[in-house]
Chain A
Amino acid sequence: MKKLNHDSALYKAGLLGILCAVCGLLLSVANAITAPIIAENALATIKANLEEIYPGATFNDVTEQYIGKDETGLIDGIYEAEGKGYIFTLHGVGYNSNGFTFMVGFDNDGAISGYTALEQQETSGIGARAFEQEYSDQIKSLTSSDPIPLLSGATLTSTAVQKGIDAAKAIFNDLQGISYDPNAQAATPEPAKPQPLANEDYSSNNVTVEEISNDGKTGVYHCTAKGFEGTNEADVTIDLESGTITSIAVTAFNDTPGVGDTATTDAELARYSGKGLSDMIDSTTGASMTSRSLRAMAANALSLATGTELTPGTDSGASGSGIGAEDFSEREAGCVVYTNLDETAFVYSCKATGYQGVNKAYVTVDTTTGTVKSIEVTEFNDTPGVGDKATAAEELARYEGATLESTVNATTGASMTSASIRAMAAAALKMAAGN
């Protein structure tokens, strides 16, 4: 071994320095080559799913960067689709204790671009509806500022979905600097307004009614109806003279204990006494399926006792004229809760098709009286000089105080635009009624 000046400290430091520099260079070369492949591997498993929302996009895994902001622990992964938006993968627990995973995507401007289950084993036809087209279309029509509505009959599953999306919204909105009201309540358009007993559709309840006794004054009927998972049975006592229910007693309960049985408590059942076919009985919150089986039995017993046929789907209350009864199916009107001014005045952001484009408006509704307070057109896409006659301030003033039963005449010469405004007013009122 040669040892010329090898013992000098300068030589040693120099040697180590050069060695470290060479090794550092080698490492950065190796990293440059392998890093993209490693990142791609990590994405490969999820990429097929991400492509469903943004086909052909370039994805970056930004989970590490942003997940620290998640306070709920529901977010599994965050992926950026370059120039398009963000996708969150999430998990939640609905009815099935194994839980489920799903993903939700937001466009950079805030619109929800996709919502799909990744893995779920919720009950088919019930909780699984939270991942089917109807609900997913509803979610995809929203933006990151909108509250996520629940799905009635699939409350447990859609609540878990709602919590997950709320967590994703919080991070996404923070990321994009979108301000929104995280505590806004979603309107639940699905249960609509409660219908009179005779008008509800009980076809899925497979109701049977059997007369047990009838002394001309009082009749007792033994009924069965399918609830959430099993068939419930009840004895319904009816006052034949007035055609109303005296009492209802549940004799067999086969739905989920602790869930469905909130609808069968004495207090809940007491709500049926004195009710006839034209009365409405509200669903018990959180037990809508069991509750409906009870209404199905009550209605069918009443129908048999009074000899009145049930008329599902027709609501006599709305059969008059009024904007609530008008057919706006071609307007494709829709509203979301925009904000509320106080506890009774809600502002709905609505849209509806007019003559050639989609018009948008803020409809303020007094929810206690179910009347329109004001309408403000925010976007007008019909023919200028023609359709905009219907959007003039004095025309819009005609909606003040309108309910679903009121008739609002079309603006002459702007009937299509006018119809779109009526459609939005009706949609907002219906939404407010369902609230």
Chain B
Amino acid sequence: MSEKKAKKQSLFTRLLVENPVFGLYLGICSALAITTNINNAIGMGIAVTIVLTLSNILVSSIRNLTPADIHIPVYIVIIATLVTIVGMVIQAYTPSLYSALGAFIDLIVVNCIILGRAEAFASMNPIGPSILDGLTMGCSYTMSILAMSFFRQILGTGMLSLSNPFTNAEIFSIRLIPEGFELPFFKEQFGAFITFACLAAAVSAFKANVEKKEKSAEL
């Protein structure tokens, strides 16, 4: 991906084409696992965005001090520390979210997006752009898993609902598919793969379309 071309594209296009989940196939593990409802997706998305942005800031700020051959251990220590702290905060203040996300909070450590952005962007750029990169990537990860959980929750349970993770109070809940007509397998792993495949195909088609347009514009 060339940074120059990216700047020309609109933010929306950039988010889709350079989408870490559907465009770059990064961080798929958690995307498949926790996208059973939009509550989980928002919680996970925010957690990843925070970790990603903070790790980008830290990696970027010590990029000139870090010798090339120990940069991976340095990043891992930074990311693991951030994830553990975020995990503790989630467990303390939103216990329901903690029990829903379970081990996947700790597994943010090995989410390729974070290590990927630290390596590919933050270690070579100043703090400002690194923050922006972290936020952009975090948001597009959040959007991706939100899209997946949107379809999976509606198809799997027939409902769309959101609740306040701090109090467990329901914010809204609507039934979109009458009871008995929902497709419970969308709650399972199988449904996760189907949803992922369909959305990735759609993004891929969009990407091809954009590239085609760019080519014709260049000509």
Contacts and interface: CB of A to CB of B under 8 A. Distances in A.
Interface stretch (B45-53, B64-72, B157-165, B209-217): B64-72
B77 interface: yes
Contact of B85 (A6, A16, A26): A26
Interface string A112-127: 0000000000000000
- Interface range on chain B (Cβ under 8 Å from partner): 20 to 34
A206 interface: no
Given A1-B64, A2-B64, A27-B85, A19 B78 contact: yes
Interface string B80-98: 1100110011011101000
Given A12-B67, A15-B70, A19-B78, A37 B85 contact: no
A41 interface: yes
Contact of B65 (A15, A23, A33, A41): A15
Contact of A6 (B67, B89, B95): B67
A30 B64 contact: no
A12 B70 CA distance: 7
A20 B81 CA distance: 9
B178 interface: no
Contacts of B80: 23
B67 A7 contact: yes
Contacts of B84: 27, 30
Contacts of A15: 65-67, 70, 74
Interface string A1-36: 111001100011001100110010011001101110
A192 interface: no
A341 B91 CA distance: 56
A70 B74 CA distance: 44
A16 B67 CA distance: 11
A22 to B, nearest CB: 8
Contact of A41 (B70, B89, B95): B95
B77 A38 contact: no
A34 B81 contact: no
Nearest to B70: A12
Contacts of B91: 34, 38, 41
A19 B88 contact: no
B73 interface: yes
Interface string A263-295: 000000000000000000000000000000000
Interface of A: 1-3, 6-7, 11-12, 15-16, 19-20, 23, 26-27, 30-31, 33-35, 37-38, 41
Given A15-B70, A38-B92, 16 more contacts: A6-B65, A7-B67, A11-B67, A16-B70, A16-B74, A16-B77, A19-B74, A20-B77, A26-B85, A27-B84, A30-B84, A30-B88, A33-B92, A34-B92, A37-B92, A41-B95
